[in-house]
Amino acid sequence: MSHPYHLLDVFTDRPFTGNPLAVFPASEGLRSQQMQAIANELNLSETVFIGAPLAPNHFPIRIFTPTLELPFAGHPTVGTAHLLAATAMAERGRPLTLSAAVGNLEVSFDGDLAWFTTAGSPERRQSSLDRAKAAELLGLSPSQVVNEPVIASRGLPFHLIELDSLNALQQAIPSAAAWARHVSSSGVEQLYLYVAMNDEGGIRSRMFSMESDIREDPATGSAAAALTGMLADMLEGQAPNVRRWRVEQGVEMGRASRILSETDARTDGQQRVRIGGQAVLIGNGAISV
């Protein structure tokens, strides 16, 4: 049986930049093992499988990397929303709900941007890395690591490591041996490196994850949500109440991406995080299973 799919570049408005994504708009009949095998065959950061609609503008989704299923990821959420609108499977003028393993992701459209509100509970805890271990892991000096790394999450956890300059960010090369010593024991196999830019709200970042080997990702909305949510929590009580962030990622890979984030305080005191971005449809195909 043939299963059609679409290819998009996400968190960009230009083909062949941003983060590639495959989306299967009709995955009914595919078993979990088949979805995983297809994601491995395509070998993209993530592949999305859309199920039959639960209601108008409400779709279940499953997200797979080449080796495992994820409860949530940012660029698949943004890319899937853009595809549903582009193919008229969803109405652009009304709210869209994507049901992932982490919970319902509420999506809205604003011009050429798709925005979603994170569904995961805020988390922040001590990292298995300190400044010295992070420096050893990345091939840097401890002076290039700003403060102690932490683990933060808005649906998917990351070790957040602030570096002191773009030069340090560009130089960073994770060591597989140091990763095994210092990262794997934490159970969190994702690193998000970042540098705060001089312009207000500007951030440059890189994301590395370990599956069968160390992989770099050109745009990671879930990591941007974890980072900006943490930064907003640190600024709690300071004006302004609503903050906007612009995260540039993928530059070192030649796949420049732009992730937008808005944070604001909810009535229960928790910071709400919204992630937005563009996407371009670049092709389609079909896989026989």
Element containing residue 81 per DSSP (H, E): helix 74-86
Q: 65: which 2 tokens?
A: 């990397």
User: How far is residue 198's CA from residue 40's CA, in Å, rounded to a whole number?
Assistant: 40
CB under 8 Å to 121, separation ≥6 — which residues? none
Q: How far is CA 81 from CA 15, 119, 159, 254, in A?
A: 17, 16, 27, 25
E-assigned strands of the chain?
A: 2-10, 19-24, 47-50, 58-64, 69-70, 96-100, 103-110, 113-117, 123-126, 145-153, 157-163, 190-196, 202-210, 214-217, 243-249, 257-265, 271-277, 279-288
Note if 148 is an active site residue: no
User: How far is residue 39's CA from residue 22's CA, in Å, rounded to a whole number?
Assistant: 9
Q: How far is CA 289 from CA 4, 6, 26, 30, 175, in A?
A: 11, 16, 13, 8, 38
Active-site hit among 46, 148, 189, 262: 46
CB under 8 Å to 227, separation ≥6 — which residues? 152, 158, 160, 192, 194, 203, 205, 247
Question: Residues with catalytic annotation?
Answer: 46
